[in-house]
Structure 1
Amino acid sequence: MSNPVISIAGRQISRNHSPYIIAELSANHNGRLETALQIIEEAARAGADAVKLQTYRPDTITLDSTAEDFRIKGGLWDGRTLYELYEEAHMPWEWHEPLFKRARELGIPIFSSPFDTSAVDLLENLNAPAYKIASFEAVDLPLIRYVASTGKPMIISTGMADAEEIQEAIEAAREGGCKELAILHCVSGYPAPAEDYNLRTIPDMIERFGLVTGLSDHTLDNTTAIASVVLGASIIEKHFTLDRNGGGPDDSFSLEPEDLTALCRDSKTAWKALGEVDYGRKSSEQGNAQFRRSLYFVKDLKAGDVVDVAAIRSVRPGYGVAPKYMDEVIGKRLKVDVTCNSPVSFELLSDT
């Protein structure tokens, strides 16, 4: 299995590096620039590797229509029109510059999901270091090509996309000139139950598409995200808010600061625990040799004496020869005197 790598703002991302944690600000600003700024500050404090915005206006993402096609049926936003939802949720474009400025002051990379070409142009003017294609836009191949033409790293979420559509999105990115590309396994439910995630898809995606692969996680806790690391996820994206009860469109399925801190810590612990194939004794085990069993003399013996079964026992500690050699020890003669309660060593024994 290959080990692809991309780099965002100088940070390498691959299975050989700790998971890249993206805090998705989404609509959790709830219409206040001060809240958006505070979310960025809390994401940096929690240890996230990046913070991500969504860049659209209601008129760049949908039409102002009350027709049934444009009305949401079921779920968190039941009964609302798409235009109403996006009017409430969108990030005003004039906020982007102060948000980018604050993130850079804090030393945390910031980028966004553009939803049309004008959003890409805005983000290019702010020198965004990377781009994210949202799941529902993974089928918008012209948009993907336009983003790819910037030459920046791109991450594509694959929620609702089948294998053929994922391949088409990858080809569009490559055709547009994207050299550094990652994909995220995603379930586009808000929230999504853990049992829908089928995380065994992640290693198949790595093998099938040969790209840096991660998880866009919409479950309500960190279990699914941390489990994904064990299966090869190099990126984890989670929605992030100051208060899950804040009443915004995405608050209810977002992590709060304490949760994000735990995700940053625990995902890295899981990655470190993977290590490599190693059957040797580990550094933390070195002091525990006394708790293993080994062979010890249980009586005083003289040089030339024959070691019989009554002269040795398998006991703790583990400083003598291993118990598996008992049959080889019995019947041997001693080269030197030995005392009771001393470890058996082959250097003490004669071959004759």
Structure 2
Amino acid sequence: MNSNEISINHRKIGSNHPPYIIAELSANHNGSIDTAIKTIKMAKEMGADAVKIQTYTADTMTIDCDKEDFKISDGLWDGYSLHQLYQEAHTPYEWHEQLFSYAAEIGITLFSSPFDETAVDLLETLETPAYKIASFELTDLPLIEYVAKTLKPMIMSTGMANLTEIEEAITCAQQAGCKELIILHCISAYPAPAQESNLATIQDLARRFNVIVGLSDHTLSNTVAITATALGACVIEKHVTLSRENKGPDCEFSLEPFELKALCNETTIAWQALGNAGYELKPAELQNKKFRRSIYFVEDITENTIITKQHIRRIRPGFGLAPKYYNDIIGKKTSQAIKRGTPVAKHLIK
């Protein structure tokens, strides 16, 4: 994996640090700023590093039109028009200042996905510490360029994008001034089938583009995210909700509080377990080394006795010579009288 490192609000992100956990609020506020605030508080208490919101209005996202092009015909939002969905799901611009202030007050990072230039302008007035480009906007190169010119850290999701589109987005961001870039592997299905996660892509992205890579995960458990961490994902993004019983637009594939806490804990353990390649004795092994096999005298014998297989055995514990010396010892003479249960040592053999 690459050794790149960036910081968002002084939290270092990279392979030498625990995974950065982003709790995606999305539309799970269900139109209530109180619910949004409670969700931010929950994310902080459960151990997330950041909360992400989305900055758009129905009219900046699409137009109000009844043509078939603008209607959703399957999935969680079957029957909605795009305008209806975004009208219901958006986080009102007038909430943003209060949400940013509250997050700062309780000590958790808050940033957002802008969906057009007016959203970027709003977020700049709020001094957002970073930006996220959603999968569906990865091909909107003018938006990516506009965000990159803020010189803030950028996170970009790759759902649905082919290799050429990913390369174009990365090149666009970097040429427009972005120096701190994270790419999130993503499957844009809601929920996403775990068997289609293709997590091997994480390491391929890191090799191809020499950027920090993570996972935006829409599967229904934490298993995929934990596996991604073991493959080098430095960032994990998951949708969260106070309760799936709230039936918000994204609730079906969102984590409840105890699940978010488990995600934070388990991905950290997975990252810790990676460690470094090496074969030195680990601290946890020290006490057990004495229980290895070694060579012991198993009979009382006198000085100058020729050692035979009846006199010695390879047994536990491990205070004698290593078993590899067994055949060398057979036929040698003892240098002194020896009691049964004495570990074989070089000074006891002529």
- The TM-score range, normalised by the shorter chain, is over 0.9
CA distance in 1, matches of 2:106, 2:242: 18
Question: Conserved in 2, the CA contact under 8 Å of 1:144 and 1:172?
Answer: yes
Within a 5 Å distance, the mapping from 1:47-58 to structure 2 comes to 47-58=47-58
Classify 1:345/1:193 alpha carbon distance in 2 versus 1 (closer, same or farther; 3 Å): same
| Counterpart AA for 1:116 | D
CA distance in 1, matches of 2:75, 2:53: 23
- For 2:191, the equivalent position in structure 1 comes to 191
| TM-score for both structures, normalised by structure 2 | 0.98
| Counterpart AA for 2:154 | M
- For 2:225, the equivalent position in structure 1 comes to 225
Give secondary structure in 2 for the equivalent of 1:29. Answer: coil
Give secondary structure in 1 for the equivalent of 2:244. Answer: coil
- For 2:341, the equivalent position in structure 1 comes to 341
- For 1:12, the equivalent position in structure 2 comes to 12
What do residues 16-49 of structure 1 show as CA deviations (whole Å, max 9, x unaligned)? Answer: 1110100000000001011000000000001001
| Counterpart AA for 2:336 | V
- For 1:179, the equivalent position in structure 2 comes to 179
- For 1:86, the equivalent position in structure 2 comes to 86
State the percentage of identical aligned residues: 57
- Shift of the alpha carbon at 1:333? 2.3
CA distance in 2, matches of 1:176, 1:14: 23
- Shift of the alpha carbon at 1:348? 2.4
What do residues 95-140 of structure 1 show as CA deviations (whole Å, max 9, x unaligned)? Answer: 1111111111111111000001111111111110000000000000
Greater than 4 Å deviation, 4+ residue runs: none
| Counterpart AA for 1:293 | R
- Shift of the alpha carbon at 1:280? 2.4
What do residues 209-247 of structure 1 show as CA deviations (whole Å, max 9, x unaligned)? Answer: 110000000000000000001111100000000011211
CA distance in 2, matches of 1:333, 1:142: 86
- For 2:104, the equivalent position in structure 1 comes to 104
- For 1:132, the equivalent position in structure 2 comes to 132
- For 1:239, the equivalent position in structure 2 comes to 239
Gaps of 5+ in 1: none
- Shift of the alpha carbon at 1:54? 0.4
CA distance in 2, matches of 1:48, 1:346: 58
CA distance in 2, matches of 1:189, 1:347: 71
What do residues 307-340 of structure 1 show as CA deviations (whole Å, max 9, x unaligned)? Answer: 2211101111122122222001212222333211
| Counterpart AA for 1:77 | W
Question: Conserved in 1, the CA contact under 8 Å of 2:46 and 2:258?
Answer: yes
Question: Conserved in 1, the CA contact under 8 Å of 2:151 and 2:179?
Answer: yes
Within a 5 Å distance, the mapping from 1:150-189 to structure 2 comes to 150-189=150-189
Question: Conserved in 2, the CA contact under 8 Å of 1:289 and 1:319?
Answer: no
| Counterpart AA for 1:121 | D
CA distance in 1, matches of 2:26, 2:144: 20
CA distance in 1, matches of 2:150, 2:303: 83
| Counterpart AA for 2:143 | L
- Shift of the alpha carbon at 1:281? 2.1
Q: Does residue 36 in structure 1 map to residue 29 in structure 2?
A: no
CA distance in 2, matches of 1:283, 1:335: 36
CA distance in 1, matches of 2:57, 2:335: 89
- For 2:262, the equivalent position in structure 1 comes to 262
| TM-score for both structures, normalised by structure 1 | 0.97
Gaps of 5+ in 2: none
Give secondary structure in 2 for the equivalent of 1:245. Answer: helix
CA distance in 1, matches of 2:303, 2:256: 72
What do residues 160-214 of structure 1 show as CA deviations (whole Å, max 9, x unaligned)? Answer: 0000000000011012110000100000000000011111111111101110000
CA distance in 1, matches of 2:195, 2:119: 35
Question: Conserved in 1, the CA contact under 8 Å of 2:292 and 2:318?
Answer: yes
Greater shift in the superposed pair: 317-326 or 224-233: 317-326
CA distance in 1, matches of 2:338, 2:31: 83
Give secondary structure in 1 for the equivalent of 2:246. Answer: coil
* Aligned residue-pair number: 350
CA distance in 2, matches of 1:230, 1:336: 55
- For 1:304, the equivalent position in structure 2 comes to 304
- Shift of the alpha carbon at 1:347? 3.3
- For 2:211, the equivalent position in structure 1 comes to 211
CA distance in 1, matches of 2:49, 2:221: 19
What do residues 30-75 of structure 1 show as CA deviations (whole Å, max 9, x unaligned)? Answer: 0101100000000000100111000000001111111100001210
Question: Conserved in 1, the CA contact under 8 Å of 2:2 and 2:212?
Answer: no
What RMSD, in angstroms, separates the aligned Cα atoms of the two structures? 1.1
| Counterpart AA for 1:59 | D
What do residues 234-269 of structure 1 show as CA deviations (whole Å, max 9, x unaligned)? Answer: 000000000112111001110000000000000000
Q: Does residue 329 in structure 1 map to residue 329 in structure 2?
A: yes
Greater shift in the superposed pair: 166-175 or 278-287: 278-287
Give secondary structure in 2 for the equivalent of 1:22. Answer: strand
- Shift of the alpha carbon at 1:4? 1.6
CA distance in 1, matches of 2:258, 2:121: 35
- For 1:116, the equivalent position in structure 2 comes to 116
